Amino acid sequence: MRHRTSTSRSRPAIVLERDVGRPASFAGQCDVGVAGATTLITDLPYGPKAAEVARDAVAVALRGTETDLLDDARLITSELATNAFASGSPPLVLCVDRTTPTTGGLEVEITVTDGGCSHAPPSSPPAPEEEAESGRGLVIVEALADAWSLTTGSHGTRAWCRLTREPSPSTTST
Protein backbone atom coordinates (compact mmCIF):
# COMPACT_ATOMS: atom_id res chain seq x y z
CA MET A 1 0.00 0.00 0.00
CA ARG A 2 1.34 3.44 -0.93
CA HIS A 3 0.82 6.66 1.03
CA ARG A 4 1.32 10.28 0.11
CA THR A 5 3.79 12.57 1.84
CA SER A 6 4.02 16.25 0.97
CA THR A 7 4.94 19.66 2.26
CA SER A 8 2.56 22.09 3.92
CA ARG A 9 -0.11 24.42 2.67
CA SER A 10 1.90 27.65 2.55
CA ARG A 11 5.08 26.26 1.07
CA PRO A 12 5.78 24.98 -2.45
CA ALA A 13 4.36 21.48 -2.70
CA ILE A 14 6.59 18.50 -3.21
CA VAL A 15 4.69 15.23 -3.44
CA LEU A 16 6.29 11.83 -3.14
CA GLU A 17 5.03 8.31 -3.06
CA ARG A 18 6.51 6.43 -0.15
CA ASP A 19 5.91 3.43 2.07
CA VAL A 20 4.39 3.80 5.54
CA GLY A 21 7.14 3.85 8.10
CA ARG A 22 9.51 5.84 5.92
CA PRO A 23 8.41 9.43 6.34
CA ALA A 24 10.23 12.24 4.62
CA SER A 25 10.57 15.88 5.57
CA PHE A 26 11.31 18.84 3.40
CA ALA A 27 12.77 22.27 4.01
CA GLY A 28 10.32 24.87 2.78
CA GLN A 29 10.75 28.52 1.97
CA CYS A 30 11.14 30.68 5.05
CA ASP A 31 8.29 32.85 6.24
CA VAL A 32 8.90 36.40 7.54
CA GLY A 33 10.23 36.18 11.11
CA VAL A 34 11.26 32.56 10.62
CA ALA A 35 14.90 31.60 10.21
CA GLY A 36 14.05 28.07 9.10
CA ALA A 37 10.97 25.92 8.65
CA THR A 38 10.37 22.25 7.94
CA THR A 39 7.03 20.54 7.54
CA LEU A 40 6.24 16.86 7.40
CA ILE A 41 2.80 15.63 6.32
CA THR A 42 2.16 11.91 6.13
CA ASP A 43 -0.71 9.46 6.08
CA LEU A 44 -0.83 7.10 9.05
CA PRO A 45 -2.10 3.53 8.83
CA TYR A 46 -5.58 3.11 10.26
CA GLY A 47 -4.75 0.43 12.79
CA PRO A 48 -2.62 -0.39 15.81
CA LYS A 49 0.58 0.66 13.99
CA ALA A 50 -0.59 4.32 13.72
CA ALA A 51 1.22 5.37 16.91
CA GLU A 52 4.47 3.65 15.95
CA VAL A 53 4.53 5.20 12.48
CA ALA A 54 3.67 8.61 13.97
CA ARG A 55 6.54 8.38 16.51
CA ASP A 56 8.99 7.47 13.74
CA ALA A 57 7.77 10.37 11.58
CA VAL A 58 8.27 12.85 14.43
CA ALA A 59 11.79 11.53 14.97
CA VAL A 60 12.54 12.29 11.31
CA ALA A 61 10.92 15.75 11.41
CA LEU A 62 12.71 16.73 14.63
CA ARG A 63 16.09 15.16 13.90
CA GLY A 64 18.83 17.11 15.69
CA THR A 65 16.61 18.67 18.35
CA GLU A 66 17.23 18.35 22.06
CA THR A 67 16.33 14.99 23.56
CA ASP A 68 13.63 16.21 25.97
CA LEU A 69 11.74 18.02 23.18
CA LEU A 70 11.95 14.96 20.92
CA ASP A 71 10.76 12.68 23.74
CA ASP A 72 7.80 14.96 24.55
CA ALA A 73 6.87 15.30 20.87
CA ARG A 74 7.05 11.53 20.29
CA LEU A 75 4.89 10.80 23.34
CA ILE A 76 2.30 13.44 22.42
CA THR A 77 2.16 12.27 18.82
CA SER A 78 1.76 8.68 19.91
CA GLU A 79 -1.19 9.63 22.13
CA LEU A 80 -2.86 11.72 19.42
CA ALA A 81 -2.45 8.97 16.80
CA THR A 82 -3.78 6.34 19.21
CA ASN A 83 -6.82 8.49 20.01
CA ALA A 84 -7.45 9.07 16.29
CA PHE A 85 -7.41 5.35 15.60
CA ALA A 86 -9.43 4.39 18.69
CA SER A 87 -12.09 7.10 18.41
CA GLY A 88 -12.07 8.26 14.81
CA SER A 89 -12.31 6.88 11.32
CA PRO A 90 -9.90 6.84 8.36
CA PRO A 91 -8.00 8.60 6.93
CA LEU A 92 -5.44 9.46 9.63
CA VAL A 93 -2.99 12.23 8.73
CA LEU A 94 -0.04 13.60 10.71
CA CYS A 95 1.45 17.06 10.19
CA VAL A 96 4.58 18.24 12.01
CA ASP A 97 5.64 21.88 11.55
CA ARG A 98 9.09 22.77 12.88
CA THR A 99 10.04 26.46 12.84
CA THR A 100 13.01 28.36 14.12
CA PRO A 101 12.05 32.00 14.74
CA THR A 102 14.66 34.61 13.79
CA THR A 103 14.84 35.40 17.53
CA GLY A 104 16.04 31.84 18.20
CA GLY A 105 14.48 28.90 19.97
CA LEU A 106 12.23 26.32 18.36
CA GLU A 107 8.49 25.91 17.81
CA VAL A 108 6.91 22.58 16.93
CA GLU A 109 3.26 22.16 15.98
CA ILE A 110 1.82 18.65 15.76
CA THR A 111 -1.57 17.97 14.19
CA VAL A 112 -3.34 14.64 13.78
CA THR A 113 -6.57 14.54 11.82
CA ASP A 114 -8.98 11.72 11.14
CA GLY A 115 -12.22 11.16 9.26
CA GLY A 116 -14.43 12.03 12.24
CA CYS A 117 -16.32 10.36 15.04
CA SER A 118 -19.87 10.18 16.27
CA HIS A 119 -19.42 11.53 19.80
CA ALA A 120 -18.76 15.06 21.11
CA PRO A 121 -15.26 16.06 22.28
CA PRO A 122 -14.58 16.42 25.99
CA SER A 123 -14.44 20.00 27.25
CA SER A 124 -11.33 19.06 29.21
CA PRO A 125 -9.33 15.86 29.46
CA PRO A 126 -11.29 13.37 31.55
CA ALA A 127 -9.55 12.02 34.64
CA PRO A 128 -8.89 8.32 34.06
CA GLU A 129 -9.74 5.77 36.70
CA GLU A 130 -6.67 4.97 38.80
CA GLU A 131 -6.55 1.33 37.64
CA ALA A 132 -7.51 2.05 34.01
CA GLU A 133 -5.10 0.93 31.30
CA SER A 134 -6.12 3.77 28.98
CA GLY A 135 -7.69 7.21 29.09
CA ARG A 136 -4.63 9.33 29.85
CA GLY A 137 -3.83 10.54 26.32
CA LEU A 138 -5.28 14.05 26.49
CA VAL A 139 -4.10 14.46 30.09
CA ILE A 140 -0.55 13.76 28.86
CA VAL A 141 -0.95 16.18 25.94
CA GLU A 142 -2.24 18.90 28.27
CA ALA A 143 0.67 18.35 30.69
CA LEU A 144 3.42 18.45 28.05
CA ALA A 145 2.20 20.90 25.41
CA ASP A 146 2.40 24.69 25.65
CA ALA A 147 -0.97 24.91 23.86
CA TRP A 148 -3.39 22.34 22.44
CA SER A 149 -6.87 21.96 21.02
CA LEU A 150 -9.27 19.22 19.99
CA THR A 151 -12.02 19.75 17.45
CA THR A 152 -14.31 16.76 16.88
CA GLY A 153 -17.08 16.34 14.37
CA SER A 154 -18.84 13.74 12.30
CA HIS A 155 -16.81 14.72 9.20
CA GLY A 156 -13.39 15.15 10.77
CA THR A 157 -11.43 15.43 13.99
CA ARG A 158 -8.38 17.64 14.48
CA ALA A 159 -6.05 17.32 17.48
CA TRP A 160 -3.36 19.99 17.56
CA CYS A 161 -0.60 21.03 19.98
CA ARG A 162 2.40 23.33 20.16
CA LEU A 163 5.73 22.79 21.90
CA THR A 164 8.13 25.71 22.22
CA ARG A 165 11.68 26.00 23.41
CA GLU A 166 13.28 29.34 24.17
CA PRO A 167 16.71 30.12 22.76
CA SER A 168 19.53 28.94 24.98
CA PRO A 169 21.34 31.77 26.84
CA SER A 170 24.56 31.07 24.94
CA THR A 171 22.87 31.86 21.60
CA THR A 172 21.06 35.08 22.54
CA SER A 173 22.84 38.37 22.03
CA THR A 174 23.27 40.85 24.85
Radius of gyration of the chain (CA): 16
pLDDT of residue 122: 54
Q: DSSP 3-state assignment of 98?
A: strand
In whole angstroms, give the CA distance from residue 111 to residue 94.
Answer: 6
Closest C-alpha among 57, 141, 128, 133 to residue 98: 57
Angle between helix 137-144 and helix 67-87 axes, rounded to 10 deg: 150
**pTM for the structure as a whole:** 0.71
Domain-wise residue ranges, the chain: 25-123+137-165
CA distances from 8 to 26, 38, 40, 86, 92 (A): 9, 9, 7, 26, 16
**163 in Cβ contact with 72 (< 8 Å):** yes
At 123 the pLDDT is 54
CB 154 within 8 A of CB 116: yes
Backbone angles phi, psi at 153, to 5 degrees: -155, 175
| Whole-number Å distance between alpha carbons of 94 and 92 | 7
Digit-by-digit pLDDT tens for the chain (174 residues) are: 333 333 333 333 322 223 333 344 444 444 456 678 889 999 999 999 999 999 999 999 999 999 999 999 999 999 999 999 998 999 999 999 999 888 888 999 999 999 987 665 555 555 555 554 455 678 889 999 999 999 887 789 999 999 999 887 765 554
Res 170: pLDDT: 62
The pLDDT of residue 152 is 84
User: Topology of domain 25-123+137-165, per CATH?
Assistant: Heat Shock Protein 90 (3.30.565)
